[in-house]
Amino acid sequence: MRAVVQRVTSAACRVDGDTTGEIGPGLLVFLGVGQGDDAEDAAWLARKIAALRVFEDDQGRMNRSLVDSEGGALVISQFTLFGNVKKGARPSFNKSAPPDEANDLFERFKALLATDLGKPVASGVFAADMKIEAHNDGPVTLVIDTRQRDF
């Protein structure tokens, strides 16, 4: 699994003009599921994101997690995170998981993150044409890949 995580002051997802998910301060998570990803990857990634210390403490240092800051999480499915541009100019998405498998792991990830945070997680709609509005904070943006855990 691959995630692009952005610290935001607010973020929202809209599908066909309807808001499907919205948060105030917290993390916007774009989540891609690749071939071979499994439930253990979803659990590891949910724990990692819940514990990321990217929020400022009283001394202005990034020392507080999403749990500590009581922030929200908005999770957006994004198969394009597995786009391969090695050959040519048109991305290949053959390393993305098949839609049914990807949706199952997307839903599992959201449930695990909600458990780790102790509250519901907002989200987009899997495979929908989504419009994302984000107010980046910092900006702080991290890329996390379950296959490159030392990155």
DSSP 98: P
Asked whether the beta carbons of 95 and 15 are under 8 A apart, the reply is: no
Residue 78 three-state SS: coil
CA distance 10 to 135: 5
* DSSP tag of 97: P
- Tell me which residues are annotated as active site: 80
Give the whole-angstrom CA distance, residue 47 versus residue 37: 16
